[in-house]
Amino acid sequence: MCGIAGYIGYRNAYPIILNGLYRLEYRGYDSAGIVLFDGDTINVLKTKGKVSELEALFEADNAQKGKIGFGHTRWATHGVPNHVNSHPHVSQSGELVIVHNGIIENYDTIKKELTKRGYEFHSDTDTEVLINLIEEIKRKEKCKLGKAVQLALNEVVGAYAIAVFDKTKPDELVVARLGSPLAVGVGKDNKEFFIASDASPFIEYTKDAIYLEDDHMAIIKVGRDINIRKLTDDTLVEASIQELKLNLEQIEKGGYEHFMLKEIHEQPNAITDTFRGRLLANEGLVRVSGIDDHIERFLNANRIIMIGCGTSWHAGLVGEYLFEELARVPVEVEYGSEFRYRNPIITEKDVVIAISQSGETADTLAAIKLAKSKGAFVYGICNVVGSSIARETHSGSYTHAGPEIGVASTKAFTTQITMLTLIALRLGKANGSISNSDFNKFLHQIEVIPEKVNSLLKLDEQIKKISTIYKDATNFLYLGRGFNFPVALEGALKLKEISYIHAEGYPAAEMKHGPIALIDENMPIVVIATNNGHYDKIVSNIQEIKARKGKIIAVVTEGDEIVKELADHIIEIPATEEALTPLLTTIPLQLLSYHIAVMRGCNVDQPRNLAKSVTVE
């Protein structure tokens, strides 16, 4: 949801910022811009479109000079993507420049007030209002930039990560955050600083990073320690420098055509990384420190509420089946956006599990805050270390999937499910819902899941052939029952996200209550029909589809004979426990959507209108 990258120091800022924007493009890519200050002039170049279009502009303009500057890649909230609405935005005097990730909710009121005082606005953005508010305060209070930023941010309602530059104080950058992430990379001896929405733009320059906290701002000057202050009362905050574990290889494509494909293929390792040190099959143990430290809270819970958005919500649905089956705990699954505005009934006996790859999703974060305010215990399952959700929750587990850059979530989903499985087993063991022998059986079965995922990745060619046949379809239906109903939802989501084919996921039996009306000889239907669970029922559903001439792509267990007779295509998965099948059935559906999208010429890693992390409501 918009990416910010900036630099101040002794090097030429342009290549650092440009490269940073390329790495942050997953956050939004409908327009991009960079400002550079060459010691004399502020040069802003911006454009609708991708970072590559911005690069072309800079080359044509030969405007790459300056040792200070910042850039922005945008996912539009206020105003359509076009040149004027792109960031950076310059204040009326031409002295102040800003980039902003987030949303200023009361911008209209402020805009009216500023208009009365003679300010003119050229864009439809909330950001242009904010920079002029800062300018107006600076003028009125006769204060420095840092103070003006602080006072202005106390007047706005909303979420932001901002970077501001003042031509009259060209040796400093001011940054601030509330609700949207911002990291500062600290160069050797404070000779240079980097700012970015995540650390990826500066990992080759420094491993020392400060993650700005909510309601904090920082004044960054070369040669000085970073000055961090609370926005609310101006008190100084000690900087906490963290050592980055990220490396370049993790954020590059490593020979794959797309990040999504790379991330699909990373799943055997990612799943192993999730259970490493937690699943101790030989000792018959599951150790999840975040749970172990609060086990009573979980055991005494009236119910568990899983909260997430998008793919993470689908993982929560799988979690519901897992927890009910393995731990016999009542579970509800909620969208962050619905939960937070519904006045939900939450008590101190509730445990919330918030699931989020990025750890930054605004609705999930707001739902957590609400649950906490009502006394619930909140546990986070996040991928991004140090993210807002990881910090806001009482306890939690990281999935350790590594950076996920493709906008369509893949390894995040399977690792979230892995983590939920471990927790369900841990609780089931603690409350006696699962027998020792079943528990041990599960541990051994989970251990071999990565190998089985690996074998599924080898079906790539077969899935490509199926994709060729259906790439021009206009609608798809995905059906599954039980544990694989959420997988059907996830399969449909993947396809629509990246190929723009309309797709719906349904519990297979619900087909009769509506979707069956859509079925004819042009309708491809992906049915997850593994041989455990409700196999007979799903076979009947397949027969119903066949009777209406629908095209059936069935995901079945190896050796299946019955569905093979009925389906147009079968994709076989290795046998496993029913509760673990989502970890396998998901893989071919990811590959199917990937290949269809590539064949349709879609931008797989950066699908239109989407963003990797949604830090606005």
Q: Give yes or no for residue 312 binding ligand G6P (CB under 6 A).
A: yes
Task: Find out whether 577 and 442 touch, Cβ atoms under 8 Å.
Answer: yes
Q: Give yes or no for residue 337 binding ligand G6P (CB under 6 A).
A: no
CB under 6 A: which stretch of 242-250, 279-287, 304-312, 470-478 binds ligand G6P?
Answer: 304-312
Q: Are strands 303-308 and 331-335 parallel, antiparallel or unpaired?
A: parallel
Q: Give yes or no for residue 357 binding ligand G6P (CB under 6 A).
A: yes
Name the active-site residue from 2, 262, 309, 429.
2
CB under 6 A: which stretch of 162-170, 306-314, 340-348, 395-403 binds ligand G6P?
Answer: 306-314
Nearer to ligand G6P, 576 or 586 (CB): 586
- Residue 494 CA to residue 212 CA, distance in Å, equals 33
H/E run at residue 466? helix 460-470
CB under 6 A: which stretch of 43-51, 225-233, 354-362, 440-448 binds ligand G6P?
Answer: 354-362
Largest CA distance in the chain: 81
Q: Are strands 242-243 and 208-211 parallel, antiparallel or unpaired?
A: antiparallel
Q: What are phi and psi of 279, to 5 degrees?
A: -100, 110
**Listing from the earlier edge strand, what are the strands of the sheet with 236-237?**
89-90, 96-104, 158-166, 172-178, 216-221, 227-230, 236-237
Q: Give yes or no for residue 576 binding ligand G6P (CB under 6 A).
A: no
Q: Give yes or no for residue 272 binding ligand G6P (CB under 6 A).
A: no
Shortest distance, CB of residue 311 to ligand G6P, whole angstroms?
Answer: 3
Q: Which amino acid is located at 401 in the chain?
A: A
Q: Give yes or no for residue 310 binding ligand G6P (CB under 6 A).
A: yes
Q: What's the CA dihedral at 383, 387, 391, 393 to 10 degrees?
A: -50
Among 77, 85, 337, 364, binds ligand G6P (CB under 6 A): 364
Task: Find out whether 164 and 145 touch, Cβ atoms under 8 Å.
Answer: yes
Q: What are phi and psi of 215, to 5 degrees?
A: 70, 20
Number of residues that bind ligand G6P (CB under 6 A): 15
Nearer to ligand G6P, 315 or 327 (CB): 315
Nearer to ligand G6P, 186 or 355 (CB): 355
3-state secondary structure (DSSP) of residue 156: coil
Residue nearest to ligand G6P (CB): 310
Shortest distance, CB of residue 382 to ligand G6P, whole angstroms?
Answer: 8
Strand partners, 333: 306
| Contacts to ligand G6P from residues 207-236, by CB under 6 A | none
Q: Give yes or no for residue 358 binding ligand G6P (CB under 6 A).
A: yes
Nearer to ligand G6P, 156 or 309 (CB): 309
| Contacts to ligand G6P from residues 373-392, by CB under 6 A | none
Q: Is 612 a catalytic residue?
A: yes
Nearer to ligand G6P, 518 or 610 (CB): 610
CB under 6 A: which stretch of 176-184, 357-365, 552-560, 590-598 binds ligand G6P?
Answer: 357-365
Task: Give the Cα-Cα-Cα angle 94, 97, 102 (nearest 5 degrees).
Answer: 140
Among 43, 64, 274, 361, binds ligand G6P (CB under 6 A): 361
Shortest distance, CB of residue 374 to ligand G6P, whole angstroms?
Answer: 21
Shortest distance, CB of residue 616 to ligand G6P, whole angstroms?
Answer: 11
Shortest distance, CB of residue 307 to ligand G6P, whole angstroms?
Answer: 10
Q: Is 458 a catalytic residue?
A: no
Instruction: Provide CB contacts within 8 A for 615, sequence distance 6+.
Output: 1, 2, 101, 102, 159, 179, 180, 181, 360, 361, 362
Q: Give yes or no for residue 311 binding ligand G6P (CB under 6 A).
A: yes
Q: Give yes or no for residue 606 binding ligand G6P (CB under 6 A).
A: no
Task: Find out whether 47 and 86 touch, Cβ atoms under 8 Å.
Answer: yes
Q: Which two tokens stand for residue 411?
A: 């390894």
| Contacts to ligand G6P from residues 396-455, by CB under 6 A | 407, 409
Q: Give yes or no for residue 309 binding ligand G6P (CB under 6 A).
A: yes
Shortest distance, CB of residue 497 to ligand G6P, whole angstroms?
Answer: 7
3-state secondary structure (DSSP) of residue 553: strand
**H, E, C per residue of 356-393:** ECCCCCHHHHHHHHHHHHCCCEEEEEECCCCCHHHHHC
Nearer to ligand G6P, 356 or 557 (CB): 356
**H, E, C per residue of 523-539:** CEEEEEECCCCCHHHHH
Shortest distance, CB of residue 453 to ligand G6P, whole angstroms?
Answer: 20
Nearer to ligand G6P, 7 or 75 (CB): 75
Q: Give yes or no for residue 180 binding ligand G6P (CB under 6 A).
A: no
Question: Residues in the chain, how many?
Answer: 617
Q: Which amino acid is located at 231 in the chain?
A: L
Nearer to ligand G6P, 19 or 615 (CB): 615
Nearer to ligand G6P, 346 or 614 (CB): 614
Name the active-site residue from 46, 147, 262, 612.
612
**H, E, C per residue of 228-277:** EEECCCCCEECCCCEECCCCHHHHCCCCCCCHHHHHHHCHHHHHHHHHCC
Residues assigned a catalytic role: 2, 612
Q: Which residues bind ligand G6P (CB under 6 A)?
A: 309-312, 356-358, 361, 364, 407, 409, 610, 612-614
